[in-house]
Amino acid sequence: MTILRTMTIDNFTVFKHAEFEFCDGINVLIGANGAGKTHVLKLAYVYLRSSEEGHAESERIKESAMIRNMREVFRPAEGRGTSLVRRQNVSCDAEILYRMAMPTREPDEMRFTLDRKRGPDDTGWGYSGSGTYADGARPVFMPSREALAMFEGFAALWEKRELSFDRTYYDLCRNLELAELKDVPEESADLIEFIGGATGGKAVLSDGRFYMEDDRGKLEAHLLAEGHRKLACIQRLLANGVLSKGATLVWDEPEANLNPVLVTKVVEILHRLARMGIQIFVATHDYLLLSELSLASEHGLERDVQRRFFALTPNPKKGTQVDIANVIADLSDNPIVDEYAAHYKREQRLFHESLSKPQAS
């Protein structure tokens, strides 16, 4: 199993310097809007996506894979890498250092740079050439918006550059269109059934369009609740083997458009995927999802799954700061919990004020 072990970011977008040490299981990123959570997810995906394309010996081929994926995943204006360099450090390069733990060889690393000092006619993409791609990387990126409803014709339009979506949506559609396995592993089949119980059926592809199928027949995916479509994507990726042992799941805001009842289902899904040998990266704003994952660590539940939490705090001068802990109570800055505590205080204040007001006769 290939594991993204660490990632160090220098002078990239909102980061001046940030270090991440990931666990084998579920890695959870929290923080205010604009703190850089999705950028961390995309940086991880870019490297793993480039690795999936092959282990090229040629430095030029390596460079082209990283640059192409960085450009198509982040979509900077006019394709310029310099747009991704932290604005406060106009004279410095941006650099991302990846370190992997791999079963087939000693831990390896890849260093990627964005050169701000290049001329005005240069797009500013650079590659240091120190390192190699990861063996057997199989990443899956789940954006915050689901893809089943937009699936029909999406890939063809994206390839013609008629859509402004970034590459993560295109890659997801390509993964979803793969045929189902004839023999689905038992643990995947059990999880498919669990998700079906939450969504009311199974996602099936027919004539280029997705449907949800149950005993009563088929219903077009775009007529389903968006939260159900999101879980149905996971179901489909299990059925066609994309999500299986050794894969990496990068999921941005899994709670988006989900009822709290389904959020607890997502926590169960994440634990089951991790037990299957899938490394997971999640960015969330949801208190329930965050708290449920942390409770499992605090009370010794799901002992066979590792969980790690990363709090990203914006800082205009120092760049986004990163705090790491194995339970959310140990994070020095937690905007989700802080705002819920503030809500509770407001509720208590309003309650006591209402008691002190004269009652109408």
Strand 217-220 relative to strand 321-325: parallel, antiparallel, unpaired?
Answer: unpaired
pLDDT tens sequence across 170-211: 999 999 999 999 999 999 999 999 999 999 899 999 999 999
CATH topology (fold) of 3-138+246-356: Rossmann fold (3.40.50)
Mean pLDDT for back-to-back runs of 10 residues, the chain (361 residues)? 89 94 97 95 93 62 76 86 77 82 68 66 54 73 93 93 92 96 95 94 92 88 90 96 95 93 95 97 95 93 94 93 95 82 84 78 58
Strands (E), 165-273: 202-206, 209-214, 217-220, 248-252
| pTM reported for the whole predicted model | 0.91
Q: Where are the domains of the chain?
A: 3-138+246-356, 146-245
Exposure class string for 322-349: b at 16+ Cβ within 10 A, else e: bbbbebbeebeebbbbeeeeeeeeeeee
Please name which of 204, 256, 258, 208 lies closest in space to residue 233, comparing C-alpha atoms. Answer: 204
- Say which amino acid occupies 126: G
The C-alpha atoms of residue 142 and residue 202 are separated, in whole angstroms, by: 18
